[in-house]
Amino acid sequence: MVYSFGGGYFRGQDRGGYYSSYDREIVEPAKFDHRKIKLENSPQRSVPGIGPVGEAYSSGFRVKADTLPTRVRYQDRRKPLDIDSFSALTFVSPHARDVIEQIEPGIHQFEPIEYRRSDGEHVADMFMLFVCRRLDTVDRTHTNMLL
């Protein structure tokens, strides 16, 4: 089951490089803020038995596609990784999307986004991944967490 992914190069690993915030950024729309992403179905903001949802991008529910970015400026000369994450979002390649769909078909939301260099060169067609599964994994008889 897909729960979450993270990705990126790390200092000293994989050919000695890593992604930095200067290598990529969301450029369309300008001044994009991931906190402005909206749920596709607003009544899901608080679900009985599940509790408050929090930020839409990590809620476990589908989001409105019209609130999402469409283009990333990607400066790294290396090919984008199959799983990439920055600006609180997760981006996956078509290959990664296909693998996830084989394991859990039709569950997760994939929205297209284009990676381009600042000179306009097309780098890759990627997808934003929104994991659309919520699990309540609290053992209510043994927790000391305030519910």
- pLDDT tens for 18-75 read 555 567 888 888 888 888 888 887 655 555 555 556 788 888 889 999 989 999 999 8
pTM summary value: 0.77
- pLDDT tens for 97-115 read 999 999 999 999 999 999 9
Could you give the CA distance from residue 90 to residue 15 in angstroms, rounded to a whole number? 23
Task: With residue 24 as reference, give the H or E element that holds it.
Answer: strand 24-28
Q: What is the DSSP letter of 111?
A: E
Of 89 and 145, the structure prediction assigns the larger pLDDT to 89
Q: For position 17, what pLDDT does the model report?
A: 54
Domain ranges of the chain: 24-32+69-130
Quickly list DSSP for 59-83. Answer: SSS-B-GGGS--EEEE--SSPPPSE
